[in-house]
């Protein structure tokens, strides 16, 4: 029987009860490939909450680059992370309503309106108690390294993943920011030790991570320069508080492709040097911090450009993960490279409070229908988006779910 996607927002099941099946966008191992091929709509069993777990009715979901990787099946298939399930329901951001709680959950009750952070770890791992859940051997990103993510009518999460939904935001605004914003928060505030007066270079400043890194710098009293691929994106970045932007098309020659000859590398390095000079001109000095997630193409430039004793903080590698760079610039100038991955629940709660206070605002590019989950990921794969994309799931239309007055998300108006 064909699935009726028009009924995605209909809910006749009472709070505290779950229907036997639900609609979900599913990736299966045999379909891995371009997002539009990999994601298919399926009717699938609704998960029941276990101890300290919660099933949330998804009102809106957020789109992230991680499920572009999940669709492609690279650099590793997600089924390696959750081998016990043959389905992958992706989606690592959501806003919704607590529908059913498992044994032991006392802080949350059916009916509570929440946003979700995407880190999971076992309560039994000692790292969770006193060190950092991100260090736990059981640590996984929900909706990427686990199934039961947010591209479905219901999602299953650990109770510690729940955060209060900012009341002034609509469902889609609230669903849009968690993964990238909380990642940017840990990278800058904790890992790199951002201070007032610091100067920061932000790659992909109009992208999912970049729009929040830029706002955090402004809030902290640090000057940032954003790298973007169009002047329209540059205008967005400046409106978020950057002191300037650089259009990377003017420096195409600095991008590392890999396998360069000695001569080509010399020419590439000359372009990196020209770029570093431009960064210094805009910021008034070399950056104390470089905010990295592009990887292979930009990493040699990042290490060269950061100030002596400065920090390159990195959480991803969109252009390739086998990085190489001239290490002399690292040791002679005593620079640091710091890896960072998502955030712990404490950091997520602190960062969420800044959204509740409207000190940081979501940057929403487009809200799409549930039927468009695959094409939303294709847009992201093709770098045709900026800021964030949200998906309506249980919410029937945009702009619902606000229960208080306050500034809305910033709307990013350029892009595909
Ligand atoms: N470890 C973690 O916890 C974590 C969390 C979030 C994201 N990530 C990873 O971080 C990366 C970025 O995520 P995102 O959500 O910010 O993605 P995004 O929204 O696609 O933004 C990334 C930006 O990087 C720029 N970019 C892409 N390819 C580039 C290249 N070859 N050279 C220079 N710039 C390039 C693009 O901006 P312009 O075209 O305007 O320059 C793009 O807007 C992804 O690989 C993602 O998987 C990791």
Q: Is 270 part of any domain?
A: yes
Rg for the chain, CA atoms, rounded: 21
Instruction: Tally the domains of the chain.
Output: 2
What distance in angstroms lies between residue 270's CA and the mean position of ligand 1's atoms?
25
**Residue 66 alpha carbon, nearest atom of ligand 1:** 47
Q: Is 309 part of any domain?
A: yes
Closest C-alpha residue for ligand 1 atom 36? 204
Which of the residues in the chain have pLDDT under 70?
1, 386-387, 414-416
Q: Is 185 part of any domain?
A: no
Helix (H/G/I), strand (E/B), else coil: 22: strand
Residue among 204, 205, 225, 228 to mutate when testing ligand 1 (max atoms within 8 A of CB): 204
Q: Is 397 part of any domain?
A: yes
Whole-model pTM: value is 0.97
The verdict on 204 and 139 lying in the same domain is no
Q: Is 416 part of any domain?
A: no
Q: What pLDDT does 416 receive?
A: 42
The verdict on 219 and 263 lying in the same domain is yes
**Residue 388 alpha carbon, nearest atom of ligand 1:** 19
Q: Cα(236)–Cα(225) distance, rounded to whole angstroms? A: 12
Q: What pLDDT does 127 receive?
A: 98
What distance in angstroms lies between residue 383's CA and the mean position of ligand 1's atoms?
9
C-alpha distances in Å from residue 231, one per residue of 272, 276, 301: 20, 19, 21
Cβ atoms within 10 A of the Cβ of 210, count?
29
What distance in angstroms lies between residue 294's CA and the mean position of ligand 1's atoms?
6
Q: What pLDDT does 384 receive?
A: 86
Q: Cα(27)–Cα(66) distance, rounded to whole angstroms? A: 13
The verdict on 162 and 309 lying in the same domain is no
Distance in angstroms between the alpha carbons of the first and the last residue of the chain:
35
CATH number for the domain harbouring residue 70: 3.90.180.10
Q: What pLDDT does 4 receive?
A: 85
Helix (H/G/I), strand (E/B), else coil: 215: helix
Q: Is 347 part of any domain?
A: no
Residue among 207, 233, 382 to mutate when testing ligand 1 (max atoms within 8 A of CB): 207
The verdict on 108 and 247 lying in the same domain is no
For 30, the enclosing helix (H) or strand (E) is none
The verdict on 367 and 333 lying in the same domain is no
Q: Which residues line ligand 1 (CB under 6 A)?
A: 64-66, 179-180, 183, 203-204, 206-210, 227-229, 233, 248, 293-294, 297-298, 315-316, 318-319, 341-342, 380, 383
**Residue 210 alpha carbon, nearest atom of ligand 1:** 16
The verdict on 320 and 216 lying in the same domain is yes
The verdict on 207 and 257 lying in the same domain is yes
Q: Tokens 């849009």, residue? A: 176
Torsion sign across C-alpha atoms 302, 308, 313, 314: positive
Q: Is 346 part of any domain?
A: no
C-alpha distances in Å from residue 343, one per residue of 117, 209, 361: 9, 13, 18
CATH number for the domain harbouring residue 276: 3.40.50.720
The verdict on 405 and 271 lying in the same domain is no
Q: Is 232 part of any domain?
A: yes
The verdict on 390 and 271 lying in the same domain is no
What distance in angstroms lies between residue 189's CA and the mean position of ligand 1's atoms?
19
What distance in angstroms lies between residue 210's CA and the mean position of ligand 1's atoms?
8
Q: Where are the alpha helices (DSSP H) in 221-363?
A: 231-239, 262-283, 299-305, 328-331, 345-356
Q: Cα(195)–Cα(198) distance, rounded to whole angstroms? A: 6
The verdict on 28 and 57 lying in the same domain is yes
The verdict on 170 and 204 lying in the same domain is no
Backbone region of residue 109 per phi and psi (left: phi > 0; alpha: psi in -120 to 50; beta: other values): beta
Q: What pLDDT does 33 receive?
A: 96
Q: Cα(303)–Cα(306) distance, rounded to whole angstroms? A: 6
Q: Which domain holds residue 304?
A: 192-339
The verdict on 173 and 213 lying in the same domain is no
Q: What pLDDT does 1 receive?
A: 61
């Amino acid at each position: 029987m064909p699935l009726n996607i028009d009924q995605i927002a209909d809910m006749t099941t009472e709070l505290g009860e779950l229907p036997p099946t639900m609609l979900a966008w599913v990736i299966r191992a045999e379909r891995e490939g371009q997002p539009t091929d990999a994601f298919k709509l399926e009717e699938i069993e609704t998960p029941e909450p276990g101890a300290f777990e919660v099933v949330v009715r998804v009102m809106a979901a957020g789109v992230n680059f991680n499920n572009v990787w999940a669709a492609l099946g690279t650099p590793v298939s997600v089924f390696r992370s959750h081998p016990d399930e043959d389905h992958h329901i992706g989606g690592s951001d959501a806003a919704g309503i607590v529908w059913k709680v498992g044994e032991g959950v006392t802080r949350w009750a059916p009916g509570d309106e929440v946003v979700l952070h995407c880190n999971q770890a076992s309560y039994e791992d000692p790292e969770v108690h006193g060190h950092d859940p991100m260090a736990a051997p059981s640590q996984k990103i929900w909706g990427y390294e686990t199934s039961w993510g947010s591209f479905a009518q219901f999602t299953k999460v650990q109770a510690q993943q729940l955060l209060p939904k900012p009341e002034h935001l609509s469902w889609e605004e609230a669903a849009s920011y968690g993964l990238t914003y909380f990642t940017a928060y840990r990278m800058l505030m904790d890992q790199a030790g951002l201070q007032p007066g610091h100067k920061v270079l932000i790659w992909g400043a109009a992208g999912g991570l970049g729009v929040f890194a830029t706002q955090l710098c402004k809030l902290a009293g640090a000057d940032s320069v954003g790298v973007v691929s169009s002047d329209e994106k540059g205008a967005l970045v400046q409106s978020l508080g950057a002191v300037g932007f650089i259009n990377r098309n003017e420096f195409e020659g600095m991008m590392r492709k890999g396998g360069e000859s000695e001569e080509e590398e010399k020419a590439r390095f000359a372009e990196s040097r020209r770029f570093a000079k431009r960064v210094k001109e805009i910021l008034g000095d070399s950056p104390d911090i470089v905010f990295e997630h592009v990887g292979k193409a930009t990493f040699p430039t990042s290490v060269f450009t950061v100030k002596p004793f400065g920090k390159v903080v990195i959480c991803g590698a969109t252009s390739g993960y086998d990085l190489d760079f001239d290490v002399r610039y690292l040791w002679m100038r005593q620079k640091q490279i710091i890896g960072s991955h998502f955030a712990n629940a404490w950091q997520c709660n602190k960062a969420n409070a800044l959204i509740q206070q409207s000190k940081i605002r979501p940057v929403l590019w487009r809200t799409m229908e549930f039927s468009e989950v695959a094409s939303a990921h294709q847009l992201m794969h093709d770098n045709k988006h900026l800021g964030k994309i949200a998906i309506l799931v249980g919410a029937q239309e945009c702009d619902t779910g606000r229960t208080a007055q306050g500034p809305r998300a910033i709307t990013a108006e350029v892009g595909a």
